[in-house]
Chain A
Amino acid sequence: ELKVEQNPLFLSMQEGKNYTIYCNYSTTSDRLYWYRQDPGKSLESLFVLLSNGAVKQEGRLMASLDTKARLSTLHITAAVHDLSATYFCAVDPAYSGAGSYQLTFGKGTKLSVIP
């Protein structure tokens, strides 16, 4: 069974600081996704990482994927209050040879950026 673990689960940080969220997963996969969810809202796609070594950046967020270590990171640079949300990583096992179509999500990291 594919397991996806995120840490930390809760993160409180001051505006202007940097921090990294980690996503470890238990099976081989070349595809990993990051989503953002605001309270009571649905999921917004942030990044799609398609291969080992992939790095994508959008504004103050940068995501990377190391398939050999089975690790993805979401780095936040100079945090601002608007980044407060829950961030999920999700692994696509279809590319592990498992033949499944489902995404497996981590439990999420609830980020609070304090002014």
Chain B
Amino acid sequence: DTGVSQDPRHKITKRGQNVTFRCDPISEHNRLYWYRQTLGQGPEFLTYFQNEAQLEKSRLLSDRFSAERPKGSFSTLEIQRTEQGDSAMYLCASSNRGPLEAFFGQGTRLTVV
């Protein structure tokens, strides 16, 4: 499968716990994006990597959120001390040429109880 892969697909966690999601982009893509989507809304940008450099972060990315892309390949998104408001679908996308032709993964659905 040569698409964008995200793991896990679903995560249920208790409030206050830390969670980490992984995204494996399409292998030749150097650009990687994280978005968050809540029910009934469009995706909201969280952060952008070009290779291993994190070039842009949204104001939505509070201090509890951190993203990394070591070696410019896969990326992780960690949420510390989860809150109920963090419940959402977290989408990863990758491309070679900016948002143009970005391919989205299947997403990780987080439920904080």
Binding site for B on A (CB under 8 A): 4, 31, 33, 35, 40-45, 48, 88, 90, 92, 94, 100-108
Contacts and interface: CB of A to CB of B under 8 A. Distances in A.
Contacts of B48: 101-102
B43 A43 contact: yes
A42 B42 contact: no
Q: Which of B31, B40, B100 has the most CB of A within 10 A?
A: B100
Nearest to A106: B42
Contacts of B96: none
A42 B91 CA distance: 8
Nearest to B91: A42
Q: Indicate the size class of the contact surface on chain B.
A: 20 to 34
Contacts of B56: 100-102
A90 B43 CA distance: 9
Interface of B: 31, 33, 40-45, 48, 55-56, 58, 91, 93, 98-107, 109
B105 A105 contact: no
A77 B99 CA distance: 28
A74 to B, nearest CB: 14
Contacts of A48: 100-101
A85 B93 CA distance: 20
When A and B form their complex, which 3 residue pairs have the shortest distance between CB atoms, in order from nearest?
Answer: A105-B42, A102-B45, A43-B104
14 contacts: A4-B42, A31-B99, A42-B106, A45-B102, A48-B101, A88-B42, A94-B98, A101-B98, A102-B33, A102-B99, A103-B102, A106-B42, A108-B40, A108-B41
